[in-house]
Chains A and B, each alone.
Chain A
């Protein structure tokens, strides 16, 4: 089973499930997205780890959702892609992690700017449904998520409860 999870819980009837061509006819590759940017119909884009997220800059306003793919849980390029999308390009739309998404990576993904998750791993789904994330709410570095500064040193942040 594949579900979409956000901080508000499981999303029913999500139109953008990447693995499903029927449901997600408009989740395009980077090349297709750049080619079809003139279309008026809403579309999403799914990037692979080697894709240059900066190439999306000219069409960001037209993109309904960006999915970043994790073909292996150990491939951490998506974390930097997310950081660039949020902090460099100022992308404020939905940013979804797809591929191998496991519980212990979710808190890190939230911090780098992901806000939705396509998850197939059953124990991960169970914990997410219970909203029991294994994260730490004290951070030694600024990042893309909403946090509070002012914790004695400039680089420290704390999580905002229910943020």
Chain B
């Protein structure tokens, strides 16, 4: 993984003192709260319902054990002993004091971490496929390019006061695990006919109030042109994106209102002035960043095949954990292990300080010191020998981290909702907990199969409900919480926006409604091989609406 050099260390140290000075000036009243707000947001500090919140960047979701131990230490020392992993591969702390923020940032800097641009109307932390560098199906590791973008976008003088936040995601395989089509810029690393690396470029995807899938503006952008082309996009957006209405300020609205052809012509025109300038990436620099991400030298561990078969035979729980939570690695003797942060009835994405320490220890022992945070709010050990799976599983079990539900109905994404968030209209966490408890039986989950439920507590859609196979959106109606359900969303390479089923459900009816939807799927599917989303795409919304609303559905 990337290691800071002197320049990076000095930069982060200066950024911390800059923020310390800003906090001091806020406390003396030299800066108004209005003017301070974008400054603190650009350093990840939110003011939530009950307290300040600090969102720490985990660039492209990659961590080592030392960093994870520091995150545990911060949770223990400055918070209430836990942290919350987010849908943008970051971690947030819900209870730190404003006065402690500079100290926390100094602690983070010790392990090459920061909170830069985890919020605010700037280029946010760049995300990537959580299986990068390990997946069998990737063209190349996308993280070096995410790292180049991270560096280039850090405290960018031209793009720190954009019309609205700006999110970039990078993937490197046809199978999109980074949800690039719902990002402001989505980059798919690929090769051309001559085997040269470059990107398919998508712009204007996003969720929120107006969910829109991204449009492809470039089929193949040579890797050397990455920064110049992204700069052209940013400049056109900064100058022309709407600033009159924050709900219409994302680039997706500019793309929609201008038309993708006109806008991409403007981007091309801007790019023509930039492409051969100082932003052109020298091959040596690309190679130097790539070197930090050189594939791990993995020893042959062929003994794992027979051992794994025997362990699975003797322990069905272990077998089902392997079946759900271990994915094939490009090395046949290894697997990519998902550590579920979705215990049955638990809070999606939360981890205690002790659990973080345990993951750090296990990553050292079994995982070549590498940890990933996924946008689905789980953790991953990307390089585990099959021969080590059984002891790893035992250790995870002891920490409450061996829930065998990756990709199943209880692997729910949920935003913090009204329990924490100042923007929320409704609670998300209790809804997730109740659904998780109702469907917690392993046999029942297995029978239902792949199913993604995503819950947001307001229209800002941090819980990605628009791309949930089943999406749940909490709204406020006449002072009470109400939940709208949508069906058929997807955030992968076959991305789609879910469609609302009809009138919303009161809090105590939501889980019943989910059960009705699931039962309808089970009754309608052609067999166990047809997943929920495939079934929905075949039969459409009508049978689900009929089951949910009965005769009302015809009337509506």
Residues on A with beta carbons closer than 8 Å to the beta carbon of B282 = 154
Most buried by A among B22, B163, B238: B238
B157 and A136 contact, CB distance less than 8 A: no
Q: How far is the CB of B240 from chain A (nearest CB, A)?
A: 9
Whether A76 pairs with B160 at a CB distance below 8 angstroms is: yes
Alpha-carbon distance between A40 and B278 when the two chains are bound, in angstroms: 38
Q: Which of B10-18, B177-185, B314-322, B350-358 contacts A (4 or more CB under 8 A)?
A: B10-18
Q: Is the CB of A151 within 8 A of B152?
A: no
Residues B25 and A143 in contact, CB atoms below 8 Å apart: no
Q: How many A-B residue pairs have CB under 8 A?
A: 112
Does the CB pair B152–A77 fall under 8 Å? no
Q: Are B11 and A80 in contact (CB under 8 A)?
A: no
Q: Decide if B35 is an interface residue (CB 8 Å cutoff).
A: yes
Of A88, A109, A153, the residue contacting B273 (CB under 8 A) is A88
Interface residues of A in 92-143 (CB under 8 A from B): 102-105, 107-109, 111-112, 123, 134-143
Q: For B30, list chain A residues within 8 Å (CB).
A: 123
Contact indicator A77/B273 (Cβ below 8 Å): no
Residue among A134, A141, A143, A155 with max Cβ neighbours from chain B (10 Å): A141
Residues of B within 8 A of A153 (CB): 151, 285, 288-289
Interface string of B225-259 (1 = CB under 8 A from A): 00100000001001100010000000000000000
Q: A140-B151, A142-B278, A155-B279 are in contact. Are A76 and B161 (CB under 8 A)?
A: yes
Confirm or deny: B512 has a beta carbon within 8 angstroms of a beta carbon on chain A. no
Do A136 and B121 have beta carbons less than 8 Å apart?
no
- Contact residue among B18, B31, B148 (Cβ-Cβ distance under 8 Å from A136): B18
Q: Are A111 and B151 in contact (CB under 8 A)?
A: no
Which residue of A is nearest B243, CB measured?
A75
Instruction: From known contacts A102-B35, A108-B157, A151-B7, infer whether A83 and B14 are also in contact, taking CB-CB under 8 Å.
Output: no
A141–B35 CB distance below 8 A: no
Kindly supply a per-residue 1/0 record for chain A positions 146-163, scoring 1 wherever the CB is within 8 Å of any chain B CB and 0 otherwise: 000101111110000000
A81 to B159, CA, bound (A): 12
Provide the residues of chain A in CB contact with B21, threshold 8 Å. Answer: 134
Min CB distance A146 to B, Å, is 14
B16 to chain A, nearest CB (A): 10
Residues of A in contact, count (CB < 8 Å) = 39
Residues in B whose Cβ lies below 8 Å from that of A81: 239
Contact B239 A73 (CB under 8 A): no
Cβ of B159: which chain A residues have Cβ within 8 Å of it? 76, 79
B162 A76 Cβ-Cβ under 8 A: yes
- B281 and A154 form a contact (CB under 8 A): yes
B285 contacts A154, C-beta separation under 8 Å: yes
CA distance A141 to B150 in the complex (A): 11
B289 proximity list for chain A (CB < 8 A): 153
Q: Are B158 and A79 in contact (CB under 8 A)?
A: yes
A38 at the interface (CB under 8 A from B): no
Chain B residues within an 8 Å CB radius of A123: 25, 30-31
Is A74 interfacial (CB-CB < 8 Å)? Answer: yes
The proximity string for B residues 12-38 relative to A, scoring 1 for CB distances below 8 Å and 0 otherwise, is 001100100110010000110001001
Tell me how far the C-beta of B288 lies from the nearest C-beta in chain A, rounded to whole angstroms.
Answer: 7
Q: Are B35 and A73 in contact (CB under 8 A)?
A: yes
A156-B25 contact given A76-B238, A102-B35, A140-B154, CB 8 Å threshold: no
Q: Which residue of the partner chain B has the closest CB to A100?
A: B35
* Interface residues in chain B, defined as those with a beta carbon under 8 Å from any beta carbon in chain A: 5, 7, 10-11, 14-15, 18, 21-22, 25, 30-31, 35, 38-39, 121, 148, 151-163, 227, 235, 238-239, 243, 273, 278-282, 285, 288-289
